[in-house]
Amino acid sequence: TMLPVIDFESCQPNVDVSNEQLKETGKLLIDALSTAGFLYLKNSGISRKSIEAMRNAAEGIFAAPVEEKEKYAMDPKTFCGYVGMTSENLDPEHPTDYKEAFHIASVALDPTVGMKWPHDLSPDFASVSASFMEEYKALSLRILKAIGVGMKLKDPDYFTKAHNFMHKQGNMSGLRVLRYPPVPEGVKTPDQRLGEHTDWASISLLIVDQVGGLQVSIDGENYEEVQPIEDTVLLNIGDTMQFWTNGKMKSKKHRVILPKGREKMTRRSMGYFVHADNEVVINQPLVYEGDPDVAEVVKNPITSQEYVVGKLNEAHNLTAKAY
């Protein structure tokens, strides 16, 4: 099965869009995200030029010697920084995900917090990522608006309002650039470059290169290859949107495998993860047109921050255990 391709041209962040248009595109998104859970967005408005600039800026970091990169190791309080492959990763008995990453969370762009940017490794990384993330943020808010309108929420801006603090303290949205290097001679090949998981976000936007290896499980059992399509952005929903929609929209498991015969190819991807503001209750049922005004009171509210930090810590500990 081929994932749906949806044209976002009429809803691009820099154009005025009518409510009718938002509703029409929103319905297409909702339909795809309720079935496949993943789709290709074309004419997203994110240019090839800014993607290349971001890739090049990230490459400056990845190309540096490991001890230089480790100076920017992920700060466990802000979750910003370099996530490396340690030598223990090479243990043939315990092959872990063979990849490295650099995380830029929202706080990095908040002048009151900020982060330790790797200016010496990649001089324009900070400025390029800041503008790249602004583009992603604008696109994300349009997607959330279209979904809100398409779903006939009583307040069509419910989702956008729930993401009011993006790129500020109080929100955990962020960009993660990933590099999956070739597997060196003599190293027992891990069969997964990135282990099976669902995303935790409300929505995720992913840009992959032409190497391939991303797989999604639509039926929860079998995995299907997600073929890269040039000039598209992959859109999927995460657990937060699944919670909100009470399972109508599906947060699908996915993973990255090492494509056979392509072990010597470096794979690059970039994911932008859109999280609701820290204090937003993600298991709060949505209120639709025609529903009573009073929202249901949830017994065990889960906030976005609680959920995401829990997952991040879990992932961190699991990795630590594997070492």
Ligand X SMILES: O=C(O)CCC(=O)C(=O)O
**Which residues are near Fe ion by CB under 5 A?**
199
Site string for ligand X, 242-271 (x = CB under 6 A): ------------x-x------------x-x
Nearest C-alpha neighbor of 209 from the set 54, 73, 72: 54
How many angstroms separate the CA atoms of 224 and 205, rounded? Answer: 19
Site stretch for ligand X (CB under 6 A), options 88-96, 182-190, 206-214, 215-223 = 206-214
What is the Cβ-side half-sphere exposure of residue 160, based on CA atoms within 13 angstroms? 17
Q: Does 149 bind ligand X (CB under 6 A)?
A: no
Q: Rule CB under 6 A: which of 179-198 touch ligand X? A: 194
- Nearest distance, CB of residue 215 and Fe ion, angstroms: 11
Q: Which partner, Fe ion, ligand X, none, binds residue 97 by CB below 5 to 8 Å per kind?
A: none
Q: Which of 109, 166, 178, 308 binds ligand X (CB under 6 A)?
A: 178
Q: Which of 206, 237, 274, 308 binds ligand X (CB under 6 A)?
A: 206
Q: Which of 199, 218, 233, 280 binds ligand X (CB under 6 A)?
A: 199
How many angstroms separate the CA atoms of 100 and 269, rounded? Answer: 11
- Nearest distance, CB of residue 72 and Fe ion, angstroms: 22
- Nearest distance, CB of residue 287 and ligand X, angstroms: 30
- Nearest distance, CB of residue 66 and ligand X, angstroms: 20
